[in-house]
């Protein structure tokens, strides 16, 4: 079997531990997932193994060095995600180094997977982007980052964030407090993402000024949303009628980003707004559909395994064939 050997140099201005990880933990993690031998001496990284695997790791470490040059400290999980992306698709991962937004804490938000990169590119190139995927794939967080970045660049004049308030049946009148207090439990994840990108005082001021608006989906009816990036989160909990209503709110110089996880619907027995949306709009220009999967999960590694386990169960037990508790009485929710 042919053996290839390559030597890479870590630039002098980069602390080698940013590339190797503390105690060479990053290198060991990568080495455990490849057949390549990795040896580090000073600022030199020597790779030895099959030509294909060595070429793969050359591209990986070029990416890691680029991140380190930008002041980042790539984690073991960052390296393994990039390695998986390269191995799965032989894709160009250089775009994973492109920043979307620099938070007020100085943290760069950027795509971590090829799927996330496609998602970001779709929002840049299309007026309406649908992003569907399981929990932990960054659908909502990246949508918020894209919106905040566009506002900072003065590409739009405002941000509108909305969610269907399914648990209260879109009827909030019986709850105490102001409108903001009533919907707060439902839109809190949007606030959390917003406060992670800009300081709380600034974000609160923008909300008070109406530059950032957070409202339940029911309050979108009758409006035309101009000069805005509009994020509809948890779209799997919309009805087809609500989805049509929302999409027809599109105004001039606006973009819509719709995110959802079709496996976590809270509308049992009813059709969802995302159920047939791709079939309905597949022939319409300027609309993109992005599907993320467990390979794009960027939370704890266990989340990806949980998603995988659920997918395997769903494949092995189609909805109509699942055994029902209580001797089979009743109907399964579709």
Domain stops at, among 97, 115, 132? 97
Average pLDDT over residues 35-39: 87
Measure Cα distances from 313 to 35, 114, 204, 300 in Å: 32, 26, 43, 21
Residues 77 and 120 in one domain: no
Which of the four pLDDT bands, split at 50, 70 and 90, describes residue 175?
low
- Summarize pLDDT for 73-105 with one digit per residue, the tens: 888 888 887 887 777 665 555 556 565 666 666
- Residue 216 is predicted with a pLDDT of 84
Q: Are 120 and 207 within one domain?
A: yes
The C-alpha R_g of the chain, in whole angstroms, comes to 23
Q: Which of 97, 117, 135 is the last residue of a domain?
A: 97
Q: What is the CATH number of the domain that holds 274?
A: 3.40.50.300
Asked whether the predicted pLDDT for residue 315 surpasses 90, the reply is: no
Predicted pLDDT at 247: 95
Asked whether 286 and 254 are in contact (CB, 8 A), the reply is no
Domain for residue 84, yes or no? yes
Domain check: are 139 and 242 in the same one? yes
Please check whether residues 145 and 262 belong to one and the same domain: yes
**Higher-scoring residue by pLDDT: 128, 174:** 128
How far is C-alpha 36 from the chain's CA centre?
A: 31
At 132, is the pLDDT very low, low, confident or very high (cuts 50, 70, 90)?
very high
Judged against a pLDDT cut of 70, whether residue 334 lies above it is answered with no
The pLDDT score that the predictor gives to residue 166 is 63
What's the confidence (pLDDT) of residue 181?
Answer: 64
Q: Which residue has the higher pLDDT, 127 or 176?
A: 127
> pLDDT-derived band of residue 160, with 50, 70 and 90 as boundaries?
very high
User: What is the distance between the alpha carbons of residues 139 and 292, in angstroms, rounded to a whole number?
Assistant: 8
Is the predicted pLDDT of residue 168 greater than 70, yes or no? Answer: no
143 in the same domain as 93: no
E-assigned strands of 50-103? 101-102
Q: Which of 70-74, 149-153, 185-189, 192-196 has the lowest mean pLDDT?
A: 185-189
**Is the residue at 326 inside a domain?**
no
Number of domains in the chain: 2
| Inter-residue contact 64 to 19 (CB < 8 Å) | yes
CA 58, CA 38: separation in Å to the nearest integer? 11
pLDDT mean over 97-122: 76
Q: What's the pLDDT score for residue 128?
A: 96
Is residue 327 in a domain?
no
The CATH number of whichever domain residue 33 belongs to comes to: 3.30.1370.10
Cα gap 72→210, rounded to integer Å: 34
Please determine, for residue 322, whether its predicted confidence score (pLDDT) is greater than 60.
Answer: no
Question: How many Cα atoms are found within 13 Å in the side-chain-facing hemisphere of 174?
Answer: 5
pLDDT (0 to 100) of residue 284: 94
Contact indicator for 111, 98 with CB cutoff of 8 Å = yes
334 inside domain: no
108 CA to centre of own chain: 15
Q: Is residue 176 part of a domain?
A: yes
**Structural domain for 282, as ranges:** 101-317
N-to-C CA span, the chain: 53
């Amino acid at each position: 079997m042919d053996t290839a050997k390559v030597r890479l140099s870590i630039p002098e201005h980069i602390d080698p531990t940013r590339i190797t990880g503390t105690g060479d933990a990053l290198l060991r993690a990568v080495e455990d997932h490849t057949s390549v031998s990795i040896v580090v001496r000073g600022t030199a990284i020597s790779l030895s193994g099959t030509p294909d695997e060595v070429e793969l790791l050359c591209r990986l470490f070029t990416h890691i060095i680029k991140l380190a040059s930008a002041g980042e400290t790539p984690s073991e999980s960052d390296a393994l995600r990039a390695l998986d992306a390269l191995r799965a698709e032989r894709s160009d991962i250089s775009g994973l180094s492109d920043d979307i937004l620099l938070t007020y804490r100085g943290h760069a938000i950027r795509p971590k997977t090829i799927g996330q990169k496609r998602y970001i590119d779709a929002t840049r190139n299309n007026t309406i982007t649908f992003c569907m995927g399981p929990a932990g794939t960054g659908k909502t967080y990246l949508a918020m980052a894209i919106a905040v970045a566009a506002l900072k660049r003065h590409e739009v004049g405002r941000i509108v964030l909305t969610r269907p308030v399914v648990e209260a049946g879109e009827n909030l009148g019986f709850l105490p407090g102001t409108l903001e207090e009533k919907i707060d439990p439902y839109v809190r994840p949007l606030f959390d993402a917003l406060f992670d990108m800009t300081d709380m005082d600034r974000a609160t001021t923008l909300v008070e000024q109406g530059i950032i608006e957070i409202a339940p989906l029911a309050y979108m009816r009758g409006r035309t949303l101009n000069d805005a990036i509009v994020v509809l989160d948890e779209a799997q909990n919309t009805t087809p009628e609500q989805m049509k209503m929302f999409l027809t709110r599109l105004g001039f110089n606006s973009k819509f980003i719709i995110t959802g996880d079709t496996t976590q619907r809270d509308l049992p027995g009813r059709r969802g707004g995302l159920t047939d949306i791709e079939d309905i709009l597949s022939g319409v220009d300027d609309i993109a559909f992005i599907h993320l999967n467990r390979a794009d999960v960027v939370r704890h590694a266990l989340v990806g395994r949980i998603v995988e386990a659920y997918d395997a169960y769903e494949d092995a037990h189609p909805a109509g064939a699942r055994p029902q508790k209580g001797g089979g009485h009743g109907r399964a929710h579709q």
